[in-house]
A = this chain, B = another copy of it.
C-alpha cells in the first residue's frame, strides 16, 4: 500500500522558505502571487494491506518522526 503524507506548517508559523519563493518569483517577473507556503511530501511504500491498520501505523509514524506537531500539520492519503 502507498501512503502519501503532506506535512505543512501551521497557520501563523513563519515560513522562510515560502517567503523566499514569493520574493524570488516576484524578482523573476511573476506578479500576482499572494502567498507561497512550502511543506514536505513523503511517499511511503508499506507492506500493510488493511487500510485501517495502515492509517493507524502511518499516523503513529507522523506523530513520532515525520511531523513536528507543535508547528506542523499532517495529512495522510492511502492508496492500494
Contacts and interface: CB of A to CB of B under 8 A. Distances in A.
A19 to B, nearest CB: 12
A76 interface: no
6 contacts: A21-B44, A33-B45, A33-B47, A36-B43, A38-B42, A39-B41
Interface in A1-44: 6-8, 18, 21, 24-25, 28, 30, 32-44
A30 B43 contact: no
Interface residues of A, number: 32
A65 interface: yes
Given A37-B42, A42-B38, A43-B39, A65 B32 contact: no
